Amino acid sequence: MSAIKHLALADGGPPPGAAELAANFGDLHAPLSRAQAAIEADACLYCYDAPCVRACPTAIDIPRFIHQISTGNLEGSAHTILSANIMGGTCARACPTEVLCEGVCVVNRTKGAPVKIGLLQRFAVDHLMETARAHPFARAPRTGRRLAVAGAGPAGLSFAHRAAMLGHDVRVLEARPRAGGLNEYGLAAYKMADDFAAREVEFLLGIGGITIEHGIAVGRDVTLEQLAAEHDAVFVGIGLGRAARAAVPGEALAGVDDAIAFIAALRQAADKASVPIGSRVVVIGGGNTAIDAAVQARCLGAASVTLVYRRGPEQMSATMWEQDLARMNGVAMRFWSQPVAFEGEGAVTHVTLAETALIDGRLVPTGRTDRVACDQVLLAVGQQMDALPGGPRIDAGKLWIDGRYQTSLPGIFAGGDAVAGPDLTVQAVEDGKRAAHAVDRWLKERAA
């Protein structure tokens, strides 16, 4: 945690000025210098059949890319990363490495801390993005096939890039004005400083053969059926667009907001000071979105931020590292509590919290309650998929797919957060990549 910046704000003091806001939302980790990268790369043991590779959903050959940093082959290193994961730049910044590659790094067992794989990956990819004169991947001879993609998030863009590489032309339909999905709208600003999501999209489109049309929501503005009729295949990567509600009285009060919408507004605001923030903020939820919302509320100048979660720290889906980040930034963590009422005259002024306990494996209220004053509530209790009228089969709230990424409708494939599996950028990138190969095989089989 030592490399993490601390907030330049004082409790109860004046709201942060422009310089403080810039610092608060600047890079969470300082990037490695060339000298630091060389030292860090030398710490890698170059494991055989390395645990880090097996822990990476995109199976980046980590020992190889780190070895390439050691030998000074930075471009080759970035190529190793990007050929497995075209969004290696975002994943280097946003992956919960502490539970993936770095969590299983064998150096933990010799030095008590892992090789800084995430920062090394960022070093290599940033180097390539800053210096490469041309896109590092070439397209296969054109197949003449036209594919449609619903959603320009990590899954859709990863699919589009790989499909373009395989020689297909790809048309991406995106409801929002900017591409990148959660990379652009959902991750904490300090993880994606300097407009990285947009820069990465531009880099990715450098392969050619991909067009993005904005303002078109599949299911609202165009049906899947239409898309399927007009294209050789369709990939659905629409993610989970709708924030779940807490089903608690008073949710309609002003000041009770979706955390994901709060983060999106913050990410898109040219001037962070323009984003409204309460002085006493309560965040409800236990995932990384809850942490991102809570820490950023502090960054904006909220005097007190309390994160409320109905279970204990071990059950939180936010990693311990994320929880520590929140604590270090002055977020109060309140476990074993859930809201039962939001109160106020028009605008929220209090939230009533009920204490919970696990009894016989079931979460039950203990009967004790507490009334907490607040002027803003951010709900981060999960997201759901937008409805797809006439769409393929849904299973447990997500799109059902077979082992080859195909939905119940022939020629319509899906991946990312909209299908079952961990809701991680890195998983979405892997889904998109594999689905592109699956579609390519499907097209070849049909032509045969």
Partner 1 sequence: MSVDLGCVIGGVPSINPFWLASAPPTDKKTNVERAFRAGWGGAVWKTVSQDPPVINVASRYGAHKLDGRVIGINNNELISDRPLDVNLREIEECRREWPDRVIIGSLMAVPEEGAWKELAIKLANAGCQGIELNLGCPHGMCERGMGSAIGQVPDLVEKTTRWVRDAVDLSVFTKLTPNITNILVPADAARRGGAHAVSLINTINSVISVDLDAMAPRPTVGRTGTHGGYCGSAVKPIALNMVAEIARDAELAGLEISAIGGIMDWRDAAEFIALGASGVQVCTAAMLYGFRIVDDMLDGLGRFMREHGYRNIADLRGRAVRNVVDWNQLDMNFDTKAFIDDALCIECGRCYIACEDTAHQAIRIDPRADGGRKFTVVDDACVGCNLCQHVCPVLDCITMRPVDNGLPPLAWPDHPENPMRLQPAMSAA
Binding site for partner 1 (CB under 8 A): 38-39, 42, 45-51, 106-107, 109-110
Query: Quick one: 109 or 362, whose CB is closer to partner 1?
Result: 109
Query: Quick one: 38 or 333, whose CB is closer to partner 1?
Result: 38
Smallest separation (angstroms) from partner 1 to the CB of 72: 10
d(CA 119, CA 391): 41
Query: Quick one: 22 or 39, whose CB is closer to partner 1?
Result: 39
Query: Quick one: 49 or 314, whose CB is closer to partner 1?
Result: 49
Smallest separation (angstroms) from partner 1 to the CB of 44: 10
> Rounded to the nearest 5°, which phi and psi values hold at 174?
-135, 130
Residue type, 267: R
Query: Quick one: 106 or 253, whose CB is closer to partner 1?
Result: 106
Smallest separation (angstroms) from partner 1 to the CB of 238: 33
Smallest separation (angstroms) from partner 1 to the CB of 110: 6
For residues 43 and 51, is the Cβ–Cβ distance under 8 A? Answer: no
Query: Quick one: 50 or 248, whose CB is closer to partner 1?
Result: 50
Query: Quick one: 37 or 414, whose CB is closer to partner 1?
Result: 37
Smallest separation (angstroms) from partner 1 to the CB of 317: 21
Query: Quick one: 60 or 173, whose CB is closer to partner 1?
Result: 60
Smallest separation (angstroms) from partner 1 to the CB of 410: 37
Query: Quick one: 109 or 133, whose CB is closer to partner 1?
Result: 109
Smallest separation (angstroms) from partner 1 to the CB of 75: 15
Smallest separation (angstroms) from partner 1 to the CB of 108: 8
Smallest separation (angstroms) from partner 1 to the CB of 73: 13
